[in-house]
Structure 1
Amino acid sequence: MKTFAQIAAEITPHITEMMPWDVEEYLQAHPETLIVDIRETHEYDTMHIADSLNVPRGILENACEWDFEETEPELVEARHRPVVLVCRSGNRSALAAYTLQQMGYENVISLKTGLRGWSDYELPLVDLEENPVDIEDADHYFANKILPEQRNPASRQQ
């Protein structure tokens, strides 16, 4: 059985990943880039990159196609535009990048380290009303909050 992290690691050689500082430069050079945040809506509402489009991973494939309730026209029409995919840590966006490539998207980039890395590099985030998020609030939000019962039982024994 493979873990989520192992699956993500297996596909990374087949996608393009960029570190936050490289994405920042890339966005300046390519203002037509569509930033797609694939986190769940409640995650996105808390804080996100300004002007990004929220398309949760669970509906991504439908959002990329016409004739679905989840269709996002801007995303459907972005097959020839640069698309940067964003999640919390970079694993979901890696899987999503691989999927979009399979669906004909020509220039897909996964934000390596996700918004955690974006925040660590002190790049700007905004809240639901598009107000800037304080860096300390972002640090607290992205801190690991795994509960004891969420840990692997084998690691709890040690």
Structure 2
Amino acid sequence: MNEQAATAGEARPLTYMGLVDLCRARVTEIFPWDLVEEIEAGREPLILDVREPYEYQALHIADSLNVPRGVLEPACDWGYEETVPAIARARERDIVVVCRSGYRSIFAADTLQRMGYRSVRSLKTGLRGWNDYEQPLVDGAGNPLTLDDADAYFAAGPSDEQLGPRK
């Protein structure tokens, strides 16, 4: 039975995690330690951070490229105001897509693959896992963050209102 199987004659809407799982089936994921190994071996994939600019400014992996998920498709093609040449010309390059938790990056990696990018992977556990593995993060000015600063950033969770109604 697929994700949109009929329930009482109606299609059941997908949840966020249901959509993630559909894309995950088509996307290769790597763990933070795998990415560290690649970087240390000199393979240097393009690290594509698909979070919003304010998130990227707060912290990111040094030398990563920020292209928010909301403008990814036109950023990848030539001829648009949103075109980002570094990603538009990277169709043959190894790309690791990152976000906060590893979910938006799954959507983005799936999209890139559909757009013809040949070697795209998603960072499982996202930047949260990267930080848990005690890998360096920098702020918007390129200044290194302490583990405590990064931990504080990741400690914020959904507000009570965002948790939804309680049954």
Q: Does the alignment reach a TM-score above 0.5? A: yes
For 1:84 and 1:105, the matched residues in 2 are separated by 11
Q: Which runs of 5+ in 1 are unaligned?
A: none
Q: Classify the secondary structure of the residue corresponding to 1:14.
A: coil
Partner of 1:101: 113
Partner of 1:121: 133
* The one of 65, 75, 95 aligned to 1:63: 75
Structure 1 residue ranges, 4+ long, deviating more than 6 angstroms after superposition? none
Partner of 2:64: 52
AA matched with 1:68: Y
Instruction: From the two aligned structures, give the one with the greater helix fraction.
Output: 1
Aligned-residue identity in percent: 54
Partner of 1:39: 51
Normalising by the residue count of structure 2, what TM-score does the alignment of the two structures yield? 0.89
Change (3 A) 1:117 1:110: same
Bigger shift: 65-74 or 25-34?
A: 25-34
For 1:65 and 1:5, the matched residues in 2 are separated by 28
For 1:39 and 1:75, the matched residues in 2 are separated by 15
Q: Deviations over 1:79-102 (max 9, x none)?
A: 000011010000000010000000
For 1:28 and 1:56, the matched residues in 2 are separated by 27
Query: Which structure has the larger Rg over C-alpha atoms?
Result: 2
Query: Alpha-carbon deviation of 1:11?
Result: 1.7
Partner of 2:20: 8
Verify the 8 A CA contact 1:125 1:132 in the aligned structure 2: yes
* The one of 95, 102, 110 aligned to 1:90: 102
Bigger shift: 9-18 or 63-72?
A: 9-18
Partner of 1:148: 160
Verify the 8 A CA contact 2:60 2:139 in the aligned structure 1: yes
RMSD over aligned CA atoms reads 1.1
Q: Classify the secondary structure of the residue corresponding to 1:60.
A: helix
Verify the 8 A CA contact 2:93 2:118 in the aligned structure 1: yes
Normalising by the residue count of structure 1, what TM-score does the alignment of the two structures yield? 0.94
Bigger shift: 29-38 or 52-61?
A: 29-38
Partner of 2:149: 137
Q: Which runs of 5+ in 2 are unaligned?
A: 1-12
Bigger shift: 134-143 or 6-15?
A: 6-15
AA matched with 1:17: E
- Which structure is richer in relative contact order (CA contacts within 8 A, separation 6 or more)? 1
Verify the 8 A CA contact 1:34 1:83 in the aligned structure 2: yes
Partner of 2:89: 77
AA matched with 1:79: R
